[in-house]
Amino acid sequence: MIAKKSIKCLAILAIVFSSLNVFAGGGGNSEKGGQINTPEDIKGYIKHHLADSHDFSLYSYTNEAGERKHVGFPLPVIVWTSKGLKTFMSSKFHHNDDGHVVVDAGDVKLAKIHSKIYELNEGVEHVAFDDHHHATNAHKVLDFSITKSVFGMLVAGLLMFLGFGSLAKGYKKGAIPTGVGRVLEPLVLYVRDEIARPNIGEKKYKRFMPYLLTVFFFIWILNLLGLTPIGFNVTGQIAVTICLALFTAVIYLTSGSKDFWAHTLWMPGVPVVLRPILAVIELVGFVLIKPFSLLVRLFANITAGHFVVMSLIALMIVLKKDFGPVASTGMSFVLATFIMVIEVLVAFLQAFIFTMLSALFIGMAVEEHEHDHAH
Amino acid sequence: MDQLLNDFSPGLFFMQVIILIVLLVLLGKFAWKPILKSLDEREEGIQSALDQAEAAKKEMQNLQADNDRLLKEARAERDAMMKEAREIKDKIIADAKDEAKEEASKMIENAKATIKQEQQAAIAELKKKVADLSIGIAETVVKKELASQDEQLKLVEGMLEDVTLN
């Protein structure tokens, strides 16, 4: 029953992806026919991939007529401009990413530069740039678009909802799960028994299980989605990791026990002179350093992983001149496959570490010292 | 750092916050809560089943011990009864033997007494017969002596021949 359902879901996903519309555009690379041959191009391409994007493009090619064709689908752009909320599809930008295409959204003009949407100043028709390629007559707007990352998060959320929803439903029929649940249940047990219980403690772990489970699977699924050729880089977006780390910080700071605050702000057992200094150090540690370490670790690992994989794939192009097409392709294939395998491990590891550290910090905050007088 | 700050998108952050909260609420309600509850229930079920099995095992052991004890007791009782029966039997036999012996000796005694009595009676009778005979002989002898001495002797001899000591 559940297996049938999941097949249905997969079928729907397949239909969605196969009905991708091909939409043409005069992209930034059009002057070279979109080809990427030089190390500079590769660098730009990787940078472009690591950044968020406003449309979902799978690949692009140049047809016989010399036109650049992009395969994928546009995503909705939702921006808060000085004239209020504006929404339109990202196809209006025609894959332009350097501000040359100006979209007229009623009373404001918008341009996209390096995956960021800029609002042109009043009365300006084109974006002007200074020497560092910074726009001089436009400013960024608040961008609530369903970008590729947001889309990825929605996909991950949907997958989680379907998978764990079916697992939850499966328990109504019997204590032993069937279908997808058989795979998911050990993972849930793993998070509970290896992450939550030992770090938070038997008494209090239950309250934090929903958060830890959600974060663990959310990060893991997004990390894995990032390794597919669809090319999400959600957990490599600093905004995403900041948000996740902030959630953890808010949770452990709001659930801190009396003991935790007593130990943080007025550490017993040390000379009174040192106590304020310790309080500052502890506070900075809990409010800034620990969340920062969380967000940077996830962000840096995933970004670096994507960077390395793409660089190794790019070896194929870079080394073609020196080693010939076969050797360079073989080399890049072997190396990229090797790194890809490691990245699969890293995808799990980073989800595990983030959840683990979240649980550890929560555990520190909710801990109650039974031997108070000993300090 | 500048690059990082430039990359940070407040809009994406906002969307992520919303998505995460929605996910937390929805998954918490429809997935995590029932899943964790079922897991806990299942584990408790398994634990209680194990406990029950352990208790049943203990009960069985107790029963077994009881059985063994009962069996032992029954065996001991049987042995005691058999011993008692044997003793009774031996005693009965011994008693019977004693009684028989006593009876026999009494009978023998009686017999002996009777024999003695008879013997004495016989002797007395014999004595009397001998006396009578002697008197008769003496009578006859005395009578014959009166005729001749030879006659007398013949008579005595003849009479003695007749007399047989019975």
In this complex, which of A116, A168, A239 lies closest to B16 when CB atoms are compared?
A239
β-pairing, A76-81 with A142-143? antiparallel
Fill in the DSSP letter of residue B147: T
Contacts of B41 (CB under 8 A, 6+ apart): A175
Contact state of A239 with B31 under an 8 Å Cβ cutoff = no
Percentage of the residues of chain A whose pLDDT score is greater than 70: 89
Contacts of A374 (CB under 8 A, 6+ apart): none
Decide: A158 and B25 in contact? Cβ < 8 Å: no
Query: Hey, is the C-beta of A304 within 8 angstroms of any chain B C-beta?
Result: no
Three state DSSP letters for chain A: CHHHHHHHHHHHHHHHHHCCCEEECCCCCHHHCCCCCCHHHHHHHHHHHHCCCCEEEEEEEECCCCCEEEEEEECEEEEEECCEEEEEEHHHHCCCCEEEEEEEECCEEEEEECCEEEEECCCCCCCCECCCCCECCEEECEECCCCHHHHHHHHHHHHHHHHHHHHHHHHHHCCCCCCHHHHHHHHHHHHHHHHHHHHHCCCCHHHHHHHHHHHHHHHHHHHHHHHCCCCCCCCCCHHHHHHHHHHHHHHHHHCCCHHHHHHHHCCCCCCCCHHHHHHHHHHHHHHHHHHHHHHHHHHHHHHHHHHHHHHHHHHHHHCHHHHHHHHHHHHHHHHHHHHHHHHHHHHHHHHHHHHHHHHHHHHHHHCCCCCHHHC
Query: Hey, is the C-beta of A239 within 8 angstroms of any chain B C-beta?
Result: yes
ipTM of model over 0.85: no
Residue B64 confidence (pLDDT): 95
- Which residues on adjacent β-strands are paired with residue A125? none
Decide: A259 and A369 in contact? Cβ < 8 Å: yes
Q: How close B49 comes to chain A (CA, Å)?
A: 14
| Residue type at position B103 | E
Q: What are phi and psi of A269, to 5 degrees?
A: 90, 0
Q: How far is CA B94 from the centre of its chain?
A: 18
Query: Hey, is the C-beta of A116 within 8 angstroms of any chain B C-beta?
Result: yes
* Residues of chain B contacting A150 with CB distance shorter than 8 Å: 12, 15-16, 19
Distance (Å, whole) CA A107 – CA A286: 46
Q: How close B45 comes to chain A (CA, Å)?
A: 10
Query: Hey, is the C-beta of A7 within 8 angstroms of any chain B C-beta?
Result: no
Query: Hey, is the C-beta of A346 within 8 angstroms of any chain B C-beta?
Result: no
- Which residues on adjacent β-strands are paired with residue A36? none
Summarize the confidence of residues A350-374 as an average pLDDT: 83
Q: Which residue of A has its CA nearest to B33?
A: A210
Percentage of the residues of chain B whose pLDDT score is greater than 70: 93
Helix crossing, A180-190 with A148-173: angle to 10°? 100
Nearest to residue A354, comparing CAs of A206, A204, A151, A199?
A: A199
pLDDT in tens, A75-97: 888 888 888 888 888 888 887 77
In this complex, which of A116, A150, A209 lies closest to B32 when CB atoms are compared?
A209
Nearest to residue A39, comparing CAs of A300, A326, A321?
A: A321
Contact state of B31 with A185 under an 8 Å Cβ cutoff = no
Residue A175 confidence (pLDDT): 76
Token pair, residue A123, equals 């009365």
Torsion of CA B42, B48, B50, B53, to 10 degrees: -140
Decide: B59 and A245 in contact? Cβ < 8 Å: no
Contact state of B38 with A244 under an 8 Å Cβ cutoff = no
- Residue B135: is it exposed, middle or buried by C-beta count within 10 angstroms (0-12/13-18/19+)? exposed
pLDDT bucket at A26, cuts 50 / 70 / 90 = very low
Residue B160 has pLDDT above 50, yes or no: yes
Decide: A226 and A50 in contact? Cβ < 8 Å: no
pLDDT in tens, B101-155: 999 999 999 999 999 998 899 889 888 888 888 888 888 777 766 667 777 677 7
More confident residue, A151 or A368: A151
Distance (Å, whole) CA A359 – CA A361: 6
Token pair, residue A172, equals 């109504």
β-pairing, A22-24 with A84-89? unpaired
Q: How close A270 comes to chain B (CA, Å)?
A: 37
First to last CA, chain A: 58
Distance (Å, whole) CA A312 – CA A316: 8
Predicted TM-score (pTM) of this structure: 0.75
For an interface test with A, which of B6, B7, B41, B48 has the most A Cβ atoms less than 10 Å from its Cβ? B7
pLDDT in tens, A98-129: 778 888 877 788 888 888 888 888 777 788 88
Distance (Å, whole) CA A368 – CA A372: 9
Q: What are phi and psi of A103, to 5 degrees?
A: -95, 130
Among the ranges given (A53-67, A171-185, B9-23, B86-100), the one the predictor scored with the smallest mean pLDDT: A53-67
> Tokens 């010939």 belong to which residue?
A324
Token pair, residue B86, equals 């044997």
Summarize the confidence of residues A272-279 as an average pLDDT: 84
Residue A27 confidence (pLDDT): 39
Nearest to residue A249, comparing CAs of A101, A116, A364, A142?
A: A364
Residue A47 confidence (pLDDT): 81
- Which residues on adjacent β-strands are paired with residue A110? A103, A119
Strands of the A76-81 sheet, one edge to the other: A84-89, A76-81, A142-143
* Residues of chain B contacting A51 with CB distance shorter than 8 Å: 7
Decide: A299 and B13 in contact? Cβ < 8 Å: no
Contact state of B20 with A206 under an 8 Å Cβ cutoff = no
* Residues of chain A contacting B28 with CB distance shorter than 8 Å: 210, 214
